Structure 1
Amino acid sequence: MFDTPGATGPRPPRVVSRRDALRYAGAASALAGLGAAAAGATAATASAAAPTLIDFAMRQIPAQDIRAAGHSGVINYVSTSRPGSSFGAKPITLPYARSLNAAGLVIVSNYQYGKPGGTAPSDFTRGYAGGISDARTAWQLHTAAGGGQSAPIFFSVDDDIDRDTWNSLALQWFRGINAVLGVQRTGIYAGINPCQWAAADGVIGNSRTPGRVWAWQTRSWSKGQIYPAAVLYQRIVSTATNPGPVVGGLEVDVNDVLAQDCGQWNLHP
């Protein structure tokens, strides 16, 4: 269905200062420790292979319930609810973020307002001007909740798009986002092909983990493949016919952490 992407290798990583390297090592160690705890947990939701982060929208899940389920943190929205909906976890709030931090959980930011067939169109259809507007909203909500000044925000392409749609719509949207945030603070959530196209077209930044870029890949539309440069992989996508695990009384999506630097706030203050 998709055209074969061109060269998809990540751009050379930026030089990291000694101070940043020490901060990275500390934060990465904390994430690895949580991953070890998850591996030893009896909860069925924990992945023994890698630390896991959960994402959800319906309401805020208490930090203690996330820890008890063996997860290392959350990917939370820095966007508001679409017209006619009221999602309690959109956007993340400062008190909730503080509760997660206090419990030793990490936070990664994601922006998604519209969706296919929803009351607002898919965000990527809004072009360059829409990208500018969405990036401004995302950054305001991210910083209001205490998000790191250098942390990336993952912007969602929650649809099965082809290369023509990428080139004519989504790419222009990402360039609008870049105009506000810069490439290094821009990430993508999508199936494997848009993740590769975003890296090849230079509109997403680099993780501090060598060879990794700000790509949060969903298993949807990925045909069983995992992009080697992705930092996160959405392994469980909760649907009405295939519900995800329950954490704090709410069905959630589960994401494997593929890099020590997956864009978590505490690593990018």
Structure 2
Amino acid sequence: MQDAPLTTGRRRSPLVSRRDALRYATAASALAGLGATAAGAGIPTASAAGPTLIDYAMRQIPAQDIRAAGHSGVINYVSTSRPGSSFGAKPITLPYAQSLTAAGLVIVSNYQYGKPGGTAPSDFTRGFAGGVADARTAWHLHTAAGGGRSAPIFFSVDDDIDRTTWNNVALQWFRGINSVLGVQRTGIYAGVNPCQWAVADGVIGRSSSPGHVWAWQTRSWSRGQIYPAAVLYQRVIDTASNPGPVVGGIRVDVNDVLASDCGQWNLHP
């Protein structure tokens, strides 16, 4: 996700294959729920395939710029900046959230404080107690900004981990999160494998869109695969070598909406 300076160089996997892209386009064309909501509220859709949400951390992007770029909303942070950094969009604030909502844009919550090689370790390495602490912080910031009481928060596994690391490290962190928020309000941001492991181990909740769970899948570490149960897919990832599109003067990541209920606040009061 886009929570690093523009010079960051995280390892990324190749673009999805043409076959998977076509498979996604077919699925996305059925996003009647969010599409209808967008049409009814005057929210632009980014493409014929379906709505898109952007994520970013450098600073708050004015709502009118997001609308003008053709996006339906945002995935914003309910976490603070790491030591030594000062991201203007972390955490989302009540006035900013109100400006987005007033413009007819939807909001989804994400938590990420640490990162690999950063000034704070990856959040998923912090164990059960760390999960408890992170969930409490996320929920406080989410609700302070006006986030829905039944809305999920997506917690980040921003690294290429194997099953052993999942079982022995990340899973314990998610269990801690669950102990505070409950499974139904817990989501995951990760590559394709951790998204599936989170479902198998019962640590993330389910969307009201049939067949979908609170999985925000990144293209990174997914080897061209798209998890059919995911609600969001991070298709465009801003890096120094592959810049993302510019919205409101900064580069952003772009996420395809795969389900009409992707955890947006307005559906989860």
TM-score, normalised on structure 2? Answer: 0.86
The residue number in structure 2 matching 1:91 is 91
Mapped to 1, the partners of 2:41 and 2:72 lie a distance apart of 6
Q: Secondary structure at the match of 2:44?
A: helix
Q: CA deviation at 1:211?
A: 0.4
The residue number in structure 1 matching 2:11 is none
- Structure 1 residues 245 and 179: alpha-carbon distance in aligned structure 2, compared to 1, 3 A threshold: same
Deviation readout 1:139-165 (Å, 9 max, x if unpaired) = 000000000000000000000000000
Aligned positions, number: 238
- Structure 2 counterpart of 1:61, which letter? I
RMSD: 1.5
Mapped to 1, the partners of 2:171 and 2:38 lie a distance apart of 32
Structure 2: gaps spanning 5 or more residues: 1-31
Q: CA deviation at 1:50?
A: 1.1
Q: How does 1:189-268 map to 2 (within 5 A)?
A: 189-268=189-268
Structure 1: gaps spanning 5 or more residues: 1-24, 39-45
Q: CA deviation at 1:28?
A: 6.6
The residue number in structure 2 matching 1:42 is none
Q: CA deviation at 1:34?
A: 7.0
The residue number in structure 1 matching 2:110 is 110
- Structure 2 counterpart of 1:157, which letter? V
Q: Secondary structure at the match of 1:31?
A: helix
Structure 1 runs (4+) deviating above 3 angstroms are 25-28, 31-37
Deviation readout 1:79-131 (Å, 9 max, x if unpaired) = 00000000000000000000000000000000000000000000000010000
Q: Secondary structure at the match of 1:138?
A: helix
Indicate the larger mover: 199-208 or 47-56. 47-56
Q: Secondary structure at the match of 1:134?
A: helix
- Structure 1 counterpart of 2:175, which letter? R
Which of 37, 45, 57 is the equivalent residue of 1:30?
37
Q: CA deviation at 1:48?
A: 2.5
The residue number in structure 2 matching 1:75 is 75
Q: Secondary structure at the match of 2:124?
A: helix
Mapped to 2, the partners of 1:35 and 1:205 lie a distance apart of 30
Q: Secondary structure at the match of 1:128?
A: helix
Mapped to 2, the partners of 1:194 and 1:33 lie a distance apart of 35
- Structure 1 counterpart of 2:242, which letter? N
Q: Is the 8 A contact 2:59 2:88 kept in 1?
A: yes
Q: Is the 8 A contact 1:32 1:51 kept in 2?
A: no
